Amino acid sequence: MDLELRDKVAVITGGSVGIGLAVAEGLAAEGVHLALCARDEARVVQKAKEIAGQSGVRAIGVRADVSKAEDIERFVAIVEKEFGGADILINNAGTGSGETIMDSTDEKWDYYMDLHLMAAVRLTRALVPFMRKRGGGVILNNASICATQPLYYEPIYNTSKAALAMFSKCAANEFIKDNIRVNLINPGLILTPDWVKTAKQLTQGTDTTWEQYLDKIAKDNAPIGRFATPEELAHFFVFMCSPRASYCVGSSYYVDGGWLKVIT
Ligand code: NDP
């Protein structure tokens, strides 16, 4: 199937590792040029170089902390200078939290709302004018199954991702008249390096290996009984960016191996 993505331009936040990197590689394989951002400049610049070298697309890596409005402004200015705008925006950067409501601070709530919600709001406002000029576009917001099925140990993560879900729906309604399709993707257990690092830390000096630890999490939660690879999830992102997904608008798509316990 030709996904008709050649020579489009995609902006991906958190494109230097894990899910964002896999989506970047998947889009590059379809001929999409890339503007990636992350806080660790050396890593994101290096990954962009590697992708450009492997697939022949143009790819840039930019240091930007998307929880900060000024960094987003600077990133978008670079995207405009290098590519004249973008056709695709993937709001992906994010991370788990870990607290109780009673021990949470206003500062922590503010940070996660900036990272998970306001980054998407600000990037959407900045890039939609370019998409309109190009005749349309795609915005994919990467939330989490936790946006609807919360994990007990991270209420801030759950709540900020739920806010992103509602923003996504509102944006879909507002922008479809401009031929801009907005959708939300809710992954379940995706085996990124961060999961491996955590598992190694938690099992150090115990009788359980990190692999056994992760295997138990998968078997306890997802009916499929395993984690997905970032690439398995990225295939779905790439399809959703394509005009082949032209009737997909304003929805939340779960890629979770059956973990969601209800029908929606
Ligand atoms: P990783 O930790 O592997 O990667 C996160 C990426 O985001 C990195 O490129 C990181 O680079 C970047 N990043 C983090 N904070 C910021 C910031 N403030 N500004 C700019 N870039 C930032 O995460 P995953 O790939 O696992 O997760 C990606 C998204 O998917 C997240 O939003 C997460 O909530 C969601 N998700 C993940 C699941 C999973 O099982 N892995 C399940 C459900 C949802 P750097 O550190 O250099 O900034």
Structural domain contains residue 264: no
Task: Tell me what pLDDT residue 42 has.
Answer: 98
Q: How far apart are CA 52 and CA 60, in angstroms?
A: 8
Q: Which domain holds residue 216?
A: 191-227
Residues 50 and 170 in one domain: yes
- Could you read off the pLDDT of 2-55 as tens digits, one per residue? 999 999 999 999 999 999 999 999 999 999 999 999 999 999 999 999 999 999
Same domain, 112 and 171: yes
- Could you tell me the CATH number of the domain that includes residue 69? 3.40.50.720
- Same domain flag for 181 and 195: no
Q: Are residues 212 and 83 in the same domain?
A: no
In a domain? residue 1: no
Three-state DSSP at 152 gives coil
In a domain, 2, yes or no: no
Query: Is residue 180's pLDDT more than 90?
Result: yes
Assess whether 97 and 79 both reside in one domain. Answer: yes
What's the pTM value of the predicted model, to 2 decimals?
A: 0.98
d(CA 20, CA 253): 17
Q: Is residue 3 domain-resident?
A: no
For the chain, the average pLDDT equals: 98
| Res 258 pLDDT > 90 | yes
Residue in this structure with the two tokens 């005009």, named with its chain if needed: 243
Same domain, 153 and 208: no
**Number of independent structural domains in the chain:** 2
Q: Are 110 and 208 members of one domain?
A: no
Query: Are 120 and 50 members of one domain?
Result: yes
- Region 217-230: what's the mean pLDDT? 98
Cα–Cα distance measured from residue 45 to residue 60, given in angstroms and rounded to the nearest whole number: 7
For position 154, what pLDDT does the model report?
97
177 occurs within a structural domain: yes
Q: How far is the CA of 177 from the centre of ligand 1 (A)?
A: 31
Determine whether 152 is an active site residue: no
Check whether residue 172 and residue 41 sit in a common domain: yes
- Residues 152 and 237: their CA atoms lie apart, in Å, by 28
- Let me know whether 13 and 125 are in one domain: yes
Q: Is residue 250 part of a domain?
A: yes
Q: Name the closest-CA residue to atom 2, ligand 1.
A: 194
What value does the mean pLDDT take over residues 47-76? Answer: 98
In-domain check, residue 262: no
Query: What's the pLDDT band for 264 if we cut at 50, 70, 90?
Result: confident
Residue 93 CA to ligand 1 center (angstroms) comes to 4
Residue 91 CA to ligand 1 center (angstroms) comes to: 10
Instruction: Give the chain's radius of gyration (CA, Å).
Output: 18
Strand order in the sheet with 88-91: 59-63, 33-38, 9-13, 88-91, 137-142, 180-187, 252-255
The catalytic residue among 153, 157, 247, 254 is 157
Strands (E), the chain: 9-13, 33-38, 59-63, 88-91, 137-142, 180-187, 252-255
What residues contact residue 196 under an 8 Å CB cut-off, 6+ apart?
Answer: 210, 214
CA of 198 to the centre of ligand 1 (A): 14
Segment 76-104 shows an average pLDDT of: 98
pLDDT per residue over 98-148, tens digit each? 999 999 999 999 999 999 999 999 999 999 999 999 999 999 999 999 999
pLDDT at 228 over 90: yes
Res. 204 pLDDT band, cuts 50 70 90: very high
Q: Establish if 212 belongs to a structural domain.
A: yes
Taking residues 192-208, report their average pLDDT. Answer: 95
Q: Which atom of ligand 1 is nearest to the CA of 66?
A: 19
Mutate to test the pocket of ligand 1, among 13, 17, 36, 51 (most ligand atoms within 8 A of CB): 17
* d(C-alpha 99, C-alpha 93), whole Å: 20
Pocket of ligand 1 (CB under 6 A): 13-14, 16-20, 37-40, 43, 64-67, 92-95, 115, 142, 144, 187, 189-190, 192-194
On whether both 216 and 119 belong to a single domain, the answer is no
* Closest CA relative to residue 10, chosen from 176, 237, 251, 236: 237
Residues 30 and 149 in one domain: yes
Among protein residues, the one with the nearest Cα to ligand 1's atom 36 is 144
